[in-house]
Amino acid sequence: MALYEHIYMARQDVTAQQVEAMTEQMKTVIEAHGGKIGKVEYWGVKSLAFRIKKNRKAHFTLINIDAPHAAIAEMERQMGLNEDVLRLLTLRVEAHEEGPSAMMRKREDSDRDDRGDRGDRGDRRGPRPDRPRRPREDGAAEGGAF
């Protein structure tokens, strides 16, 4: 049997419990065709880079699968029929990643410290001292509200 990573996105207006139920349904399809499920990670609701079927956000879920191709094909067919699933992607991998995926790992504080101190940025609304002001062509007074 082959190893797969499967990620799907569900509509933003379904609940987390409904997403969990969809995941359980996919597990039963895989197991009925002789496959095994590894880890399942619910990544939560995330913003999309662009609208998909009028949705700006989606529920993301990762499933590690060890199954024959027939099980994957049936699972993808059933997910394609489900109107709550926006997109899905199944990749064949050499080995499953141990531990939490990159999406679940928390960024450590040391990564933030590498950016350095930005310091005092001052008042951004005032004139810049490094540029001389040009007189306005319409003769209006300088300064004033924006």
User: What mean pLDDT value characterizes the chain?
Assistant: 82
Band of the pLDDT at 66, cuts 50, 70, 90? Answer: very high
Q: What is the pLDDT of residue 107?
A: 40
What CATH number should be reported for the domain holding residue 86? 3.30.70.60
For residue 19, is it within any domain? Answer: yes
39: closest CA among 104, 102, 100? Answer: 100
Domains contained in the chain, number: 1
Please report which confidence band the pLDDT of residue 134 belongs to, taking 50, 70 and 90 as the band edges: confident
Q: 20 lies in which domain range?
A: 2-93
Is position 111 within any domain?
no
Q: Which two tokens stand for residue 103?
A: 């999406």
Length of the chain: 146
pLDDT at residue 92 tops 70: yes
Residue 120 lies in a domain: no
Alpha helices in 1-146 (DSSP H): 16-32, 69-81, 109-113
Residue 117 resides in a domain:
no
140 domain residue, yes or no: no
Q: What is the pLDDT of residue 108?
A: 38
Q: Is position 142 within any domain?
A: no
CA distances, 110 to each of 32, 37, 80, 105, 125 (Å):
46, 35, 42, 14, 33
Residue 53 falls inside a structural domain: yes
What does pTM read for this prediction? Answer: 0.68
